[in-house]
Structure 1
Amino acid sequence: MQHILVYADSLSWGIIPTTRKRLLFEQRWPGVMETSLGASGRKVRVIEDCLNGRRTVWDDPFKPGRNGLAGLAQLIEIHSPLALVVLMLGTNDFQSMHEHNAWHSSQGILALISAIRSAPIEPGMPVPDILVVAPPAIQTPKGPIAPKFEGGEAKCVGLAAAYRKVCEETNCHFFDAGSVTTSSKVDGVHLDLEQHLILGRAVAEAVEPLLSKGI
């Protein structure tokens, strides 16, 4: 059995837009991915480490522990051996308290890639391959989260292209979630149930040939 770590934020945690409730595992895109890969004959376990509010490499001034770089190397060590790490972060880099743009987030992803590849795993264990998933672009934020993400739709412009460039330069795999789905129709930031289903199946299709290589 091959293990895949999904390292992400609330879009993958499965928060139901405008609520503090969570979708079931089989409804969240990582769970949909696991089910899809299993249906294709792959023996895969998906490990979720998805924290609401997680940035790529920055702190949240209001909540501790949202810096995605902190502890990542140890997390890789904990879950090794891993076949693949899927990184889907960036949306929270564009919260209203930050002045980041797409390039800044791409450099955050680059730091995470470096942390994964330099993690102190046991001798002989494989360094996991990495798939970077660019989250769908933020639309006009709506509902209770609107003040938190005000202006995010402008700051996130160009994110997928910036992530793709980093992946090309570092020999990582890349998938643009925005190529198959938008962000939530309800709050403009997260994913609705149908969008989780679409994304999970699409990412499974991207992951399946990587597993075929025996990574």
Structure 2
Amino acid sequence: MKKRIVCFGDSNTWGYDANTLERFPEGVRWTSLLAELLGDEFQVVEEGLSGRTSVVDDPLFEGLNAFTYIHPCLMSHAPLELVIIMLGTNDTKERFNLTAYNIAQGIARLSLKAKNTPAGIKGSFPKVLVIAPPPIGKEYYETSIGNSMGINCDRKSEEMPMYLKELLKIQGTEFLDTKGFIVMNTIDYMHLNEEGHRLLSKLVFNKIKNIL
């Protein structure tokens, strides 16, 4: 049986292309590139949903709260070797009124839930890797998404990984910070471009080699 990895995230895991407003194809998305790097021994399951938050319900759109969905999601893909969580970008939206620390708390809480879901081999608990996405570029507010996102999203996404690292250290969860290695595109400043997907796949691959 192949070793199964679930990549659980938002539009940057789904593969949203800000240039076409559609989905990047296989061979461009970081999840599919990761599968290529890992080889035939592994199966990478893409669980990306645009707009997904870590622990809050969105008053405008249905079904985006990861906390209420992650348990059945992981159980449906069991048995799992590893769960990779990359969230936080959407949590910065002004309508949620969360601080950078609150966002980190939510992701840490979600991570703990994943770690305690019996979706591993023979009902064991899977390993979990949490990725802090690249910070939102400050120019985002001048683009078409500015009104929807609201203010200070860039600042919160810049500060969040520092808090998240400390909270995950307490619970003993693997952490990967993409800040300084990958930047968002120059269209809406909150999605990965093709180069970003390629770089992320390599970062995650190198991290996985030390986990599994």
TM-score, with length taken from structure 2: 0.92
Q: Are 1:29 and 2:30 counterparts?
A: yes
CA distance in 1, matches of 2:87, 2:75: 20
CA distance in 2, matches of 1:107, 1:83: 24
| Paired AA for residue 200 in structure 2 | L
Q: Does the aligned pair in 2 maintain the 1:56–1:89 contact within 8 Å?
A: yes
Q: Are 1:12 and 2:13 counterparts?
A: yes
CA distance in 1, matches of 2:19, 2:148: 13
Residue 184 (structure 1) shift: 1.4
Distance change >3 Å, CA 7–CA 136, structure 1 → 2: same
Residue 206 (structure 1) shift: 0.7
Q: Does the aligned pair in 1 maintain the 2:136–2:157 contact within 8 Å?
A: yes
Q: Does the aligned pair in 2 maintain the 1:10–1:53 contact within 8 Å?
A: yes
Residue 192 (structure 1) shift: 0.6
1:124 match: secondary structure? helix
Distance change >3 Å, CA 197–CA 153, structure 1 → 2: same
> Which stretches in structure 1 are left out of the alignment for 5+ residues?
none
CA distance in 2, matches of 1:209, 1:157: 26
Q: Does the aligned pair in 2 maintain the 1:36–1:204 contact within 8 Å?
A: yes
Residue 190 (structure 1) shift: 0.6
Distance change >3 Å, CA 181–CA 121, structure 1 → 2: closer
Measured against aligned partners, the alpha-carbon deviations of 1:13-67 in whole angstroms (never above 9, x if no partner) come to: 11111542000122111111111122xxx61111011000000001111101011
Q: Does the aligned pair in 2 maintain the 1:91–1:135 contact within 8 Å?
A: yes
- Structure with larger RCO (C-alpha < 8 A, sep 6+): 1
Measured against aligned partners, the alpha-carbon deviations of 1:69-106 in whole angstroms (never above 9, x if no partner) come to: 01211112111111000000000001131221221111
Q: Does the aligned pair in 2 maintain the 1:7–1:49 contact within 8 Å?
A: yes
Counterparts of 1:1-215 in structure 2 under 5 Å? 1-38=2-39, 43-121=41-119, 124-139=122-137, 140-141=139-140, 142-151=142-151, 152-211=153-212
CA distance in 1, matches of 2:88, 2:9: 9
Measured against aligned partners, the alpha-carbon deviations of 1:130-169 in whole angstroms (never above 9, x if no partner) come to: 0000001111215321212232112223111111112111
| Paired AA for residue 188 in structure 2 | D
| Paired AA for residue 173 in structure 1 | E
CA distance in 2, matches of 1:66, 1:14: 16
CA distance in 2, matches of 1:15, 1:62: 20
Distance change >3 Å, CA 185–CA 74, structure 1 → 2: same
- Report the identity percentage: 28
TM-score, with length taken from structure 1: 0.90
2:67 match: secondary structure? coil
CA distance in 2, matches of 1:153, 1:130: 26
**C-alpha root-mean-square deviation of aligned residues, in Å?**
1.7
